[in-house]
Copies of this chain bind each other. A is one copy, B any other.
Amino acid sequence: MALTHFDGDGNAHMVDVSDKPATAREARATGWVRMTPETLDMITDGRAKKGDALGVARLAGIMGAKRTSDLIPLCHPLPVTKVALDLAPDPELPGIRVTATVKTSGQTGVEMEALTAVSTACLTIYDMVKAVQKDMEIGGIHLTFKDGGKSGRFEAQP
């Protein structure tokens, strides 16, 4: 079996989706940034009074979703019709959990848009907090839901 993003000669190409019907597509992805409890406190305190770091990361994620096909070489450009991000402090982690939901009506799915939104939001959190902690970790980035298109519905543990 061969990867679809490469033709018979092994050359990368943007897969031809011209003949696929435009259907309603939705994808959801998640991920997290792990940090010390002290760093997490700075972010959650700040939300109330010292600066809304989660608001900045949420916006970065929304804008990142719109740049997906610019960043991922073989990804089809798609006019997304919805992007929403949820960023929640999780003291168990400890850190921030990020979830992104993306929709479109198109010939390919929006999995990459959802994953790119999560990644960009996580990177933005890292950027805003790196002056106080450099050894944070970004992880757990995976698809939790996808619907629409020939391959149909996919669901995974958040």
Q: Which residues of A contact B (CB under 8 A)?
A: 1-7, 10-18, 24, 31, 42-43, 46, 49-53, 55-56, 58-60, 62-67, 69-86, 103-107, 111-112, 115-116, 119-120, 122-124, 126-132, 134-143, 146, 151, 154, 156
Contacts and interface: CB of A to CB of B under 8 A. Distances in A.
A28 to B, nearest CB: 12
Interface of A is mostly: mixed
B119 A138 contact: yes
A111 B134 CA distance: 9
A54 to B, nearest CB: 8
Contact of A18 (B24, B42, B64, B142): B24
A20 to B, nearest CB: 8
Contacts of A107: 81
Given A73-B124, A80-B77, A10 B51 contact: yes
Contact of A55 (B52, B105, B156): B52
Contact of A138 (B31, B59, B67): B31
Given A12-B51, A83-B14, A126 B112 contact: yes
B52 A74 contact: no
